[in-house]
């Protein structure tokens, strides 16, 4: 009797999520001279915004803080993520204030083109590619969504934030979406190995 061949299932290799290393991130921001663009990309990096979420920001969404409290920004999250008002990371808040000082406080979209229209996805893609080229960042990372990946990765590996805190910060509705960043960096794995060296 002939035996049927046993089917073997190959494990799919985990898809590597692209993110900027710390030196790449520093080069990227150094390449930006525009006050408006610096504010846009600081928000995308520090708060994990998508390109479409940048276009939805209105002047009424920004609330300037006092000497004792942080600036606040209402972020409309898309793709099932959780919207809400957030305390701003100071670096992002400073960049946004600098842009508003130049833009003026007239109501409407926070980020406008030179023609005074709402900034859109295509323009943001082009800006990201331009600054990445100047900063000599690989093409596979020259994508705006890479900044959201970078935000999550740096919060976990560099800032040592918990998975739950990162989930809240970037508005993930499901914690499984945040978990993919927990095992991304070789540096984080190496640091953990060193911390556990004396574990008895």
Instruction: With cut-offs at 50, 70 and 90, classify the pLDDT of residue 127.
Output: very high
pLDDT at 186 over 70: no
Instruction: With cut-offs at 50, 70 and 90, classify the pLDDT of residue 115.
Output: confident
pLDDT at 133 over 60: yes
Average pLDDT over residues 163-174: 92
**pLDDT at res. 77:** 95
Percent over 70 (pLDDT), the chain = 84
Question: What is the C-alpha to C-alpha distance for residues 144 and 36, in angstroms, rounded to an integer?
Answer: 16
**pLDDT at res. 89:** 95
pLDDT at 12 over 70: no
3-state secondary structure of 86: strand
Topology (CATH) of 22-187: hpI Integrase; Chain A (1.10.443)
Task: Say which residues have a Cβ less than 8 Å from residue 119's Cβ, sequence separation at least 6.
Answer: 40, 54, 55, 109, 111, 112, 113
**pLDDT at res. 113:** 87
Q: Convert 41-54 into a string of H (helix), E (strand) and C (coil).
A: HHHHHHHCCCHHHH
Angle, CA 14 vertex, CA 18 and CA 146 arms, to 5°:
15
pLDDT mean across residues, the chain:
88
**pLDDT at res. 179:** 86
């Amino acid at each position: 009797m002939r035996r049927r061949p046993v089917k073997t299932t190959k494990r799919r290799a985990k898809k590597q999520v692209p993110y900027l290393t710390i030196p790449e991130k520093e080069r990227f921001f150094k390449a930006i001279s525009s006050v408006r663009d610096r504010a846009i990309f600081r928000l995308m990096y520090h708060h994990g915004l998508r390109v479409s979420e940048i276009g939805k920001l209105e002047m009424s969404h920004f609330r300037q803080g006092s000497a004792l409290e942080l600036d606040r920004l209402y972020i409309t999250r898309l793709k099932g993520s959780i919207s809400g008002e957030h305390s701003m990371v100071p670096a992002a808040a400073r960049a946004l204030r600098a842009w508003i000082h130049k833009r003026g406080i007239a109501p409407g979209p926070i980020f406008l083109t030179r023609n005074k229209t709402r900034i859109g996805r295509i323009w943001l893609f082009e800006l990201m590619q331009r600054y990445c080229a100047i900063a000599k960042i690989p093409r596979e990372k020259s994508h705006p969504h890479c900044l959201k990946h970078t935000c999550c990765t740096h919060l976990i590996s560099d800032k040592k934030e918990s998975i739950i805190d990162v989930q809240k910060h970037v508005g993930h509705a499901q914690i499984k979406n945040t978990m993919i960043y927990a095992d991304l960096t070789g540096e984080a794995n190496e640091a953990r190995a060193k911390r556990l060296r004396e574990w008895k």
